Every structure is written in C-alpha cells, then in structure tokens.
Amino acid sequence: MQRTERHASFGGWQEVWQHRSEVLSCDMKFGIYLPPAAVRGEACPVLYWLSGLTCNEQNFITKAGAQQYAAQHGLILVAPDTSPRGADVADDAAYDLGQGAGFYLNATQAPWAAHFRMEDYIVQELPALIQQHFAVTAAQSIFGHSMGGHGALTLALRHPGRYRSVSAFSPIVAPSQVPWGEKAFSAYLGEDRDQWAAHDACALIQSQLSERLPLLVDQGEADDFLANQLQPQRLQAACDAAGHPLTLRRHPGADHSYYFIASLIGEHIAHHAKALQG
C-alpha cells in the first residue's frame, strides 16, 4: 500500500491510500479517517461508507463533515471508491454504468465480470486490508448514499452477522424496479431477474431473512430522484409486510446533495457508534 494523502483533522488523520486489488484486478484508492484514539494506538471499530454514482473516495471525506463525529466517538471511517478504475477496465459513456457505477455487486456478464466484483472487494478484500494495516477491532458497520445506500443495505442484508448496524441516505431501495437499477443489472447480471432480486433490498427483506438488522434511512422530500429512482415507500411496504425493523425519516426541503448528508451525518455516526461500542 502507498499513502497518497495525509491531513490533520480533529486530532486525528484523514488519509488516502492506494493499493493493488487482486479482486478487481486494478489499482484502487480508499479514504480512511483515523480518530485521536487510533492515533494513540487504541484499536477502534470501523464504519464503512459507500458513495453514490459518479463519486470516488474524495466526495465523502471532503463534503460530509464526518471527521469531527468520528473523532468524538472513536470510530475509524473508511470510504472506498465506487468501482474499479483504469484504462483496461470496461466503461460506458453514461454516468450510470461502468466506472463510477459499480453498484456494489459481482458482475457475471462480459465485459464487466473481469473487474466489477465490488461486493467481494467491500465485504472481503478491503476489510482484510484494513485489519492488516491498521489497529481495528472486529466490530464493523456500514452506511452509504444513493447507489451507496443501496450497497449498504444489500450488503448488510446479504451478509448476516458481519455488520453491527446499517443506515442509508436516499438509497435506491428497489433497483430491480427503477431505471438506474434495471440498466445496471441488465449489463452486470444479464436478464435473469432472479439474479437481480439477490441485490435488491426490498426483495431481500421479502425473502424473510434470518437476521433482522434494524434499518435507518433518511430521505429528502425535495430530492430530484425521489419519485423515479428511489421510491422509499417500497422499502416501507416491504418492511411492514415482513415485520422488519425500519426507521424511515422524510425531510421536507432536503435534496440529494451532500448538504443533506452533512446535516444528519452526526446522527448517523452516533447511531453506529452505539451499535459498535455497545
């Protein structure tokens, strides 16, 4: 690994690291915030953030204002890129497919399958790397925004016992039923909708999972993507039908931007800290 950035922040360090990913067959970057407790040599829990379409490791670490809250609660924050990158990695001219749009799943279709294995990267390779190079406890949680909110929800639901808590801002809750997901799933997974359902939060909840990890979701009412792409009412209906615990909060005037995320990031980090340190 190679550290490419380091900035003092709230008594800790905001760093960016680059490494070779064997899972994705390319070089990857991730942001990591080390709170004062970690700087002192204490092992800390890890909270993973998954960003949305077009983003990389920079968006969250520069816009969310999360470092001060991670410092207060003694959490390590890890913010990976949203897809494999590189000249030899398959891509598409549109913003919602290819590089910057990995959808946190393992692609099975050419040309994507050669590199787009973001589920394995987030769930297995990256945590192993973090455990190898930083002083962390076994406790980990996950949250994200938009496509990353989809990723946080589905990875937590698909891997019971791995995460202590999960939350999301403006997530794509039913990707198999909205344009963003239909386009990505068709490309990455093919036309078998049973394969799509395995990466759809609403469908996963309806399948009566063994673990009922409580979901915390915040959604802005002035979000331009609310009606066409996000549709949180589908998640509410699925959770109500399955008896799955959900806290869905809707916020008048809030949009899809990091202004919304920054307004509530302290509450989300406190929510995860309670689970991680309890």
Catalytic residues: 146, 223, 256
13 vs 68, 94, 123, 127, 136, CA distance in Å? 11, 35, 24, 19, 15
Q: What is the CA radius of gyration of the chain?
A: 17
What residues have CB less than 8 Å from 128, skipping those under 6 apart? none
Q: DSSP label at 176? A: G
Burial of 86 (0-12, 13-18, 19+ CB in 10 A): middle
The answer to whether 216 and 170 are in contact (CB under 8 A) is no
DSSP reduced 3-state for 13? strand
Structure-block tokens of residue 105: 């799943």
Say how far apart CA 210 and CA 227 lie, in whole Å.
Answer: 31
| Cis bond upstream, residue 35 (ω within 30) | no
Sequence-distant (≥ 6) Cβ neighbours of residue 22 within 8 angstroms: 125
Give the containing element (helix H, strand E) for 53.
none
Rounded Cα distance, 251 and 263, in Å: 11
**C-beta of residue 90 within 8 angstroms of C-beta of residue 114:** yes
Alpha-carbon gap, residue 150 to 153, rounded angstroms: 5
